[in-house]
A = this chain, B = another copy of it.
Amino acid sequence: MVSDPVDESESHPTEGLDEIVHQRARLGILSLVHEARRVEFGYLLKTLGLTGGNLSQHLRVLEEASLIKVEKGVQGRRPRTWISITPIGRRALLREIRALRAIVDRVDRLTERKE
Which A residues form the contact surface with B (CB < 8 A)?
Answer: 1-6, 8, 11-12, 14-15, 17, 19, 22, 24-25, 27-28, 31-32, 34-40, 43, 47-49, 82, 93-94, 97, 100-101, 103-104, 106-108, 110-111
Contact = CB atoms under 8 A, between A and B. Distances in A.
A40 B103 contact: no
10 contacts: A1-B43, A2-B38, A11-B47, A12-B47, A15-B28, A31-B106, A34-B111, A94-B107, A100-B104, A101-B104
B36 A4 contact: yes
A105 B25 CA distance: 18
Contacts of A47: 5, 8, 11-12
B3 A37 contact: yes
Contacts of A100: 100, 103-104
Give the one of A11, A31, A48, A93 with max B CB within 10 A.
A31
